Chain A
């Protein structure tokens, strides 16, 4: 491990050679950008899978235009997707978005690039481990994607992979292998972030002087570190059930399509669900906390005043993190688990909403008394608040056992968690891209294109997800290849068309973003060191920062958000400035 001062010497020399500098780099900034590009590509890929599914949902049984002809006849005969292919798209959409898209973007990209800068460190604590995380993530992700063309196809048992379905369905083995690799990558990253945050802080950067984003990453890495190992172990057990004849999750006396299953049995299908959700619920906060941290940073800089209740926000994040380990079985109210146990998880689930409400309230109160600049990143950050609010509120009838009996596994659930992770997390991450882009590339993104991207994205996202609440209330189940096969779904089938049209619109509105992103890297307006007049340390080094980040180790003298201090001409004092 490198200590703070030794690291400065060690990193004084930038690597020579293209391969060491850009491909197998140990520089946290290069790795951060590698994560950024890769995870955004995966987000686009996962979105693409969903666009195919949305066609089938809106127009079941009709050939997919253009793309339908390109698909193999075994997946989509005459351009109409089969049930197997639909399920494969569904499982892969969820897996890619969560494990290969949002987590690597939130943690791998933003965490890697911004966290060491914000704490004034020259690099991560374990630079080689950091490189290894990326080089496990990329092949793991490619293996996951390649399962579409491997024999057996892609996994088709949902991103949740409940056995025994996942044991008897094709495609699952590669999914499990890829998951083990991806989880290992995340674990290495988590250890690295934890050690870096605790050991590599600049002089004067006490815990209570760390920006909210750093706190969010710190809590996130603890969640990853504690929640991922059970899933990794669980995935290995499922892998054994598939290839080695074990029966961890397979009960006795299975009869599949008229034939006795070969497994000896004696296993428990519900065991997987407990292990899976023990990871996957904290995982929700892994998806949400870093964007919350990003939103807090952007709001402080663009309201020109300190955050309201900085300590409340931080303690809220810590309590959310702790509580997230005792709520997992609210995903299992109707799973066949003891209904008496449900009462415990009902209570913990309601309690976890308290710190979440506290964080949101503090963020909204932060606007009071401000001088709000409606920059593009600020628009995204502001949109996060009401949109994430809808996501949180609609969790209420799902977390309450009684109403969950009806709403469980309906489109209401899909609407709820997409409001949380799409209009919440992804909107927050978008805000971060616009906010830190000048730091990454030394140039600014175009503001007008940014606004088109923002309004188009916000409106079409709501068009995709809001109808899902109405469909859920009408009792439409999720994961249906042909919703029109069930009579009670017909009353809301037109909403599927609305949702699908909005999804295509959402794709369209990503075009200005993609163009803006790449065009601005090369041709954007040049940006100085601190274009937003912000106070945190990442703005105290050149844009983009050189190898080793800071010319000399920075020293921290104040709280993270010293905006509009009384009796001061300038409306901000950076953390590394001593005198007011």
Chain B
């Protein structure tokens, strides 16, 4: 087993997971140090200044606004400025603000619904076929227009996301009904899927394996059952799987006109 289990965190399986883990560990160590130091000081005060017969409280001089009590504040402020500028903003920008270009990355669309993750691969041509809410049907949950030439080699599945190892995958995240949240603990990746929006999310898996996708945003009575799986495979294996899937793509399914 990988040695990157610590502080109860799951295995880390993406390129940015170690950055998030670094922050989590750093902050927790700092929190522990602050709490223990304060705790010792607090306990000392309680014992030292407990009520004793014949010992009156000693009134201190009024220090006004800028007393020694502001020292912890200054320390906290410096620590926080360092955290913001050296850690949070750089890591956040890399993960959430700068999305990789779609031409340069492997692409997949995730369409969330109550209570499943629909997965839409563009197929070998790298182009997503048109999707329309009018075509949604139980046999065509994402409403893919099979008449669209770009849709001919598209692969559609549910609750199984295949990703190539060591390659950046750009995920186009959307939802058909309510807000869901795409969460893979091993990737340290979470993003809400909002109906009406398509949100770009990226991940570069760096560990072959099979992980859980869960929904992290309350989405209805079966929210806890809304789960899927990610398979991180070697690129050759991934390409082979995709080709096999594209070959057995189903016949165009059209929504019956009755509903």
Could you tell me which A residues sit within 8 Å of B by CB distance? Answer: 82-84, 87, 90, 156-158, 162, 164-165, 168-169, 251-261, 265, 267-270, 303-306, 308-309, 311-312, 315, 334-336, 339-340, 342-343, 346-347, 350, 353-354, 357-358, 361-362, 364-365, 367-374, 382, 385-386, 389-390, 393-394, 396-397, 400-403, 405-410, 470, 473-475, 477-483, 485-488, 492, 563-566, 571
Could you tell me which B residues sit within 8 Å of A by CB distance? Answer: 7-10, 19-20, 23-24, 27-28, 30-31, 34-35, 38-39, 41-42, 45-46, 49-52, 55-60, 62-65, 67-70, 72-73, 76-77, 80-81, 83-84, 87-89, 91-92, 95-97, 113-114, 133-134, 136-138, 141, 143, 176-179, 181, 183, 185, 188-197, 199, 212, 214-225, 227, 259
Contact indicator B221/A83 (Cβ below 8 Å): yes
Contact indicator A492/B31 (Cβ below 8 Å): no
Contacts of A353 in B (CB 8 A): 76, 80
* A156 touches which of B58, B72, B193, B221 (Cβ 8 Å): B221
7 extra interchain contacts, Cβ-Cβ under 8 A, other than A403-B23, A405-B92?
Answer: A169-B220, A342-B96, A370-B49, A386-B38, A397-B28, A409-B181, A481-B223
Contact indicator A158/B45 (Cβ below 8 Å): no
Contact indicator B222/A83 (Cβ below 8 Å): yes
Contact indicator A571/B23 (Cβ below 8 Å): no
Contact indicator B136/A255 (Cβ below 8 Å): yes
Shortest beta-carbon contacts, A-B, top 8 = A251-B196, A475-B185, A83-B221, A402-B91, A339-B96, A480-B224, A165-B178, A304-B57
* B72 touches which of A258, A350, A357, A410 (Cβ 8 Å): A357
Contact indicator A308/B136 (Cβ below 8 Å): no
Q: How far is the CA of A397 from the CA of B221 in the complex (A)?
A: 30
B27 to chain A, nearest CB (A): 5
Given contacts A269-B194, A370-B49, are A402 and B95 in contact (CB under 8 A)? yes
Task: Name 6 A/B residue pairs within 8 A (Cβ), A-sorted.
Answer: A258-B141, A304-B57, A374-B50, A402-B88, A405-B92, A405-B188
Q: How far is the CA of A120 from the CA of B143 in the complex (A)?
A: 69
Contact indicator B19/A402 (Cβ below 8 Å): yes
Contacts of A164 in B (CB 8 A): 177-179, 195
B36 to chain A, nearest CB (A): 11
Q: Which residue of B lies closest to A393 (CB)?
A: B31
Q: How far is the CA of A346 from the CA of B197 in the complex (A)?
A: 23
A137 to chain B, nearest CB (A): 27
B115 to chain A, nearest CB (A): 10
Contact indicator B218/A87 (Cβ below 8 Å): yes
Contact indicator B73/A361 (Cβ below 8 Å): yes
Contact indicator A364/B177 (Cβ below 8 Å): no
Contacts of B217 in A (CB 8 A): 162, 409
* B177 touches which of A83, A255, A312 (Cβ 8 Å): A255
Contacts of A474 in B (CB 8 A): 8-10, 185
Contact indicator A396/B31 (Cβ below 8 Å): yes
Q: How far is the CA of A335 from the CA of B27 in the complex (A)?
A: 23
Given contacts A165-B179, A251-B195, A470-B8, are A258 and B137 in contact (CB under 8 A)? yes
Given contacts A350-B80, A402-B87, A402-B88, are A473 and B46 in contact (CB under 8 A)? no
Contact indicator B218/A157 (Cβ below 8 Å): yes
Q: Which residue of B lies closest to A398 (CB)?
A: B27
* B92 touches which of A156, A311, A339, A354 (Cβ 8 Å): A339
Q: How far is the CA of A257 from the CA of B259 in the complex (A)?
A: 13
Q: How far is the CA of A564 from the CA of B49 in the complex (A)?
A: 14
Contact indicator B57/A481 (Cβ below 8 Å): no
Q: How far is the CA of A83 from the CA of B195 in the complex (A)?
A: 23
Contact indicator B216/A477 (Cβ below 8 Å): yes
Contact indicator B76/A405 (Cβ below 8 Å): no
Contact indicator B27/A400 (Cβ below 8 Å): yes
Contact indicator B216/A409 (Cβ below 8 Å): yes
Given contacts A260-B133, A270-B194, A373-B51, are A485 and B227 in contact (CB under 8 A)? yes
Contact indicator B69/A365 (Cβ below 8 Å): yes
Contact indicator B192/A394 (Cβ below 8 Å): no
Contact indicator A358/B20 (Cβ below 8 Å): no
Q: Which residue of B lies closest to A369 (CB)?
A: B58
Q: How far is the CA of A242 from the CA of B7 in the complex (A)?
A: 45
Q: Which residue of A lies closest to B193 (CB)?
A: A336
Contact indicator A371/B49 (Cβ below 8 Å): yes
Contacts of A492 in B (CB 8 A): 8
Contact indicator A402/B20 (Cβ below 8 Å): yes
A154 to chain B, nearest CB (A): 13
Q: Which residue of B lies closest to A261 (CB)?
A: B177
Q: Which residue of B lies closest to A487 (CB)?
A: B212
Contact indicator A401/B88 (Cβ below 8 Å): yes
* B59 touches which of A168, A255, A372, A563 (Cβ 8 Å): A563
Given contacts A83-B223, A405-B95, A477-B183, are A354 and B20 in contact (CB under 8 A)? no
Q: Which residue of B lies closest to A365 (CB)?
A: B69
Contacts of A270 in B (CB 8 A): 194, 197
Contact indicator B177/A254 (Cβ below 8 Å): yes
A398 to chain B, nearest CB (A): 10
Q: Which residue of A lies closest to B182 (CB)?
A: A334
Contacts of B77 in A (CB 8 A): 354
B107 to chain A, nearest CB (A): 19
Contact indicator A253/B133 (Cβ below 8 Å): yes
A559 to chain B, nearest CB (A): 9
Contacts of B195 in A (CB 8 A): 164, 251, 253-254, 269
Contacts of A168 in B (CB 8 A): 177-178
Contacts of A258 in B (CB 8 A): 136-138, 141
Contact indicator B23/A347 (Cβ below 8 Å): no
Contact indicator A571/B57 (Cβ below 8 Å): yes
Q: How far is the CA of A396 from the CA of B79 in the complex (A)?
A: 11
Q: How far is the CA of A19 from the CA of B177 in the complex (A)?
A: 52
Q: How far is the CA of A260 from the CA of B84 in the complex (A)?
A: 44
Given contacts A305-B57, A487-B212, are A406 and B188 in contact (CB under 8 A)? yes
Q: How far is the CA of A410 from the CA of B188 in the complex (A)?
A: 12
